[in-house]
């Protein structure tokens, strides 16, 4: 199964990396591309309730203006729930914007380019027979790794700046950021 085994120095860690290449292929695309099915609630899931432009006072006014007692008069509970859901759905579709489609990956474009460059350089190093060219490619891999580290640090700084700027307006942003950092284990075992 293994076609190539290589031990690489890494500037990302104090440890060496053991890279194993196989000829075994998995079908990850089928697993990752499955869209979760939420049943009849999919229309609500497509709406962005956290958007700043949502006018909740207008939505409340619209809900209060609906003659509920006339709509629900002499109907069973199941029918009333269906009427309620359809009315709320029509209101929400009319007054709440849709969510923007997310990209397939949460990895920033620049970092993805660096990761692809590293993959390409490792592949090229694997194919070379010359030790001189192999050392040159290894140096390029180290440079790419340092660029990757720099990009991650910059991303962390910009996130922290955004949290600090929005802290007064929305204190939950700070607590969300702290809780996300608390769950991460940054130590090397």
Is residue 121 within 8 Å of 137, Cβ to Cβ?
yes
**Could you read off the pLDDT of 28-41 as tens digits, one per residue?**
655 555 555 554 44
Residue 43 neighbours by CB distance under 10 Å:
15
CA-based torsion, 173, 178, 182, 186: positive or negative? positive
pLDDT digits (tens, 9 = 90+) for 84-116: 999 998 998 888 888 887 766 778 889 999 999
Q: Please enumerate in sequence order all residues whose Cβ is within 8 A of that of 100, keeping only pairs 6 or more positions apart, or say none.
A: 48
Tens digit of pLDDT for each residue in 38-71?
A: 544 467 888 888 888 888 899 999 999 999 889 8
Where in the chain does DSSP place strands (E)? 2-8, 17-22
Cβ neighbors of 140 (< 8 A, separation 6 or more) are 121
The residue assigned the tokens 């958007």 is 51
CA dihedral angle for residue 33, residue 37, residue 41, residue 42, rounded to 10 degrees: 30
Is this model's pTM higher than 0.85 or not? no
């Amino acid at each position: 199964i293994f076609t190539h085994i290589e031990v690489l120095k890494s500037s990302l860690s104090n440890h060496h990396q053991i890279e194993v290449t196989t000829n075994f292929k998995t079908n990850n695309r089928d697993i990752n591309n499955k869209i979760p099915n939420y049943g009849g609630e999919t229309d609500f899931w497509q709406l962005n309730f956290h958007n700043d432009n949502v006018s909740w006072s207008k939505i409340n006014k619209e809900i209060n203006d609906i003659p509920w007692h006339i709509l629900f008069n002499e109907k069973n509970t199941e029918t009333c729930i269906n009427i309620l859901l359809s009315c709320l759905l029509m209101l929400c579709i009319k007054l709440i914007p849709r969510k923007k489609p997310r990209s397939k990956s949460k990895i920033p474009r620049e970092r993805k380019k660096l990761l692809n460059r590293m993959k390409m350089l490792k592949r090229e190093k694997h194919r070379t027979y010359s030790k001189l060219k192999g050392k040159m490619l290894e140096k390029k891999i180290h440079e790419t790794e340092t660029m990757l580290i720099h990009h991650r640090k910059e991303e962390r700084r910009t996130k922290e700046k955004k949290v600090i700027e929005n802290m007064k307006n929305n204190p939950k942003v700070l607590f969300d950021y702290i809780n996300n950092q608390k769950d991460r284990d940054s130590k090397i075992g």
